[in-house]
Structure 1
Amino acid sequence: MNHPSPNRRPSSSPPVPPVTSRATLLSVAVLLATLCVAAALAAAVAAPAPAATAAARAPDANLAVVRPGAIALDPGARWSATSDGVVGGKSTARLEPGKSATPSLAAKGEIVAGLGQTWGGLMFDPGSLPMSAADASAVREMRFRVRGDGRSLMVLAFSGAGTGDKPAIQMVQSTAQSQQVSMPLAGRADIDLKRLRTIAVSAIGAPGPFEFEIESFELR
């Protein structure tokens, strides 16, 4: 697999602009798929104690909403933070309760230059283990509301027979005002709803702090 080449710029150069071209987006998506697999393997090998797991999941209570019969979420389904730190990068991300009146999650951290592509954000695993497949064949779309600091956000839906399959992607420009995001999932060649594995929402772009919040997340 061809990885994006690291940006080689002197320290005085301006920050790298957000990713915009579709060719680059696809390259980034393939890279993120590989990195998420690495994170999943690490989580499976070093699973936290039950008490720690319960505490880590506390902020996401009732955030994942599904219509009756659409998808049976495993009791182990959860949201977690993700960043390029899983493969030696220096970016950070943490999961916090959101400030909205409705159940919400906040992602906070910092994008740090060092890898060819850097990111930080959240990922949702509908199965019992990270990247394990869940049957979501009755789901038609994903919806949620998001607000942030103006950064570009990349929404990825991982699915298929293997954990390294290319994800479906959608770009979102965050704003200070909450906006609704809809991503069609049914009838797409790049999504296998019988084997939905992970959904990720990640901040990308220039180095620096990032913050965004999602609420009313729904698979419908």
Structure 2
Amino acid sequence: MAAPPSADLWDGGWHRDAVRLPSSNYGPRPADARQSVDLVVVHSISLPPGHYGTGAVQQLFTNTLDWDVHPYFQQIRGLQVSAHFFIERSGRLWQFVDCDQRAWHAGQSAYRGRTNCNDDSIGIELEGLEGHRFESAQYLTLAALCHALAERYPLRYLAGHEHVAPGRKQDPGPGFDWRKLAELLAKSTLDLPSQVPPT
């Protein structure tokens, strides 16, 4: 792995370079999972779908979204979810949940022989839409974040929501370039999904 990031990047489980916007949608990690946070789950989200820079994702994760602003919001009315991080199209990084806590991002899920991926994973949302491409700035921020997380946690796996909840979720979808991310993480030891061709 590349030279580890400075410890100054972290304030406990909060990344100092992220815009901090605390969510109340989180809980404690189970006692037996606190020392085994070894998975990063990559998601994609935009609200309304395909609309970027609206601020609605931040509002959703902090329970401040006005459900009546757009017809699509009626489909998710009352939803209480969160992720640890959100990366805008520009690469700007937001954080909603302390990484030492359990965010509500994966739902019913299983990966690397374990269920309930929320218990021992970090959730990272990319601003985007399933099937659409993502920006270079987002890949750079995501790779840098994974390197920083690997200094604090025993990370071993990186997967998409589609891999931990197959058949139920499809994000980040076919527009996400796993090969590009693998190249940016070439010096790391993270295991990417098995269908990603080796670099």
**Length-normalised TM-score, structure 2:** 0.29
> Hey, which of these two has a bigger chunk of helix by percent?
2
The answer to which structure has the higher strand fraction is 1
Choose 1 or 2 for highest CA Rg: 1
